[in-house]
Amino acid sequence: MRFKGKVVLISGGGTGIGLGAARRFIEEGANVVISGRRQDKLQAAVSELGASASLVVGDVTDRGACAHMVTETLKRYDRLDVLLNSAGVIGNGGVADTPPAEFDRIMQANVYGVYHLSQAAVDALKQSRGSIVNVSSVTGTRPYGTLLAYCASKAAVSMMTLTMALELAPFGIRVNAVEPGVVRSELHTASNAVADYAAFLERAKQTHPLGRPGEPADVAAAIAFLAAAESGWITGECLKVDGGRYLTSLR
């Protein structure tokens, strides 16, 4: 029960890694507020998670919505101990064929979303000497020629993690990130980024040295570790949780 009495706010908490993390935090005693754009997904998640979970509908690309997420969390629980920036989108395309609007869509969700919500939460986290965990990606350090905007956005998230860690350390706030490989979730299907998702997951068995794609629970375990008091001397860490995927770029 590492998080007994703690309060966690999770963007993108209705599905995928965010939902997996919500399960883990609640199992370990936390009260959790999940946020996202799709009310039906959030309501289904809260129904599963039980009385320790509540929801706030909002889009992380909207600065005002991010402030509202934090305000509602404080209104309900009077504190905030952990912010998990899990909301994100993906899209295909290289420099020659990515329209500006698509580039902006990915940057707004993946980069500005982390910026808006983290900024909104800083004062509350100073009070609790809490922590931020960002969901980056193996693509933040391993380039893929057909994922220009996504790779760039996740590289930005990893670098933001480092700079935020330096800035906020004097206030006792730790900032870390996870960099997952392919994880079974709605990330690719919600944006139609993968035509044949079953084949995509099957291929992940070959592209990830440990022989399988990840599950949300795999990443949630790492997130919980980085947010817990036992990692109290860790900040500015971008932890690869990728089944060895990054290692294949070193061959």
Which residues, in sequence order, are CB contacts of 180 under 8 Å at separation 6+? 17, 135, 137, 138, 214, 218, 219, 241, 242
Distance CA 2, CA 30 (A): 8
Question: Which has the closest alpha carbon to 235: 138, 157, 170, 152?
Answer: 170
> Rounded CA gap, 5 and 130, in Å?
13
Contacts of residue 148, Cβ cutoff 8 Å, sequence gap at least 6: 93, 94, 95, 98, 103
Query: Is-contact 21 180, C-beta < 8 A?
Result: no
CA 110 to CA 104: how far, in whole Å?
10
246 is catalytic: no
User: What is the pLDDT at residue 93?
Assistant: 95
What type of residue sits at position 206? Q
Whether the full predicted model's pTM is greater than 0.85, yes or no, is yes
pLDDT tens for residues 125-145?
Answer: 999 999 999 999 999 999 998
pLDDT value of position 194: 83
Exposed / middle / buried, residue 225 (Cβ in 10 Å: 0-12, 13-18, 19+): middle
Reported as half-sphere exposure (CB side, CA atoms, 13 A), residue 241 has a value of 26
At 186 the pLDDT is 87
pLDDT along the chain (251 residues), means of 10: 97 97 98 97 98 98 98 98 97 95 97 98 98 97 94 98 98 98 90 85 95 97 98 98 94 74
- Rounded Cα–Cα distance for residues 29 and 205 (Å): 34
Q: What is the pLDDT of residue 191?
A: 75
Catalytic residue chosen out of the listed positions 77, 115, 144, 150: 150
Multiple choice CATH, 7-244, 3.40.50.720, 3.40.50.510, 3.20.20.70, 3.40.50.10490: 3.40.50.720
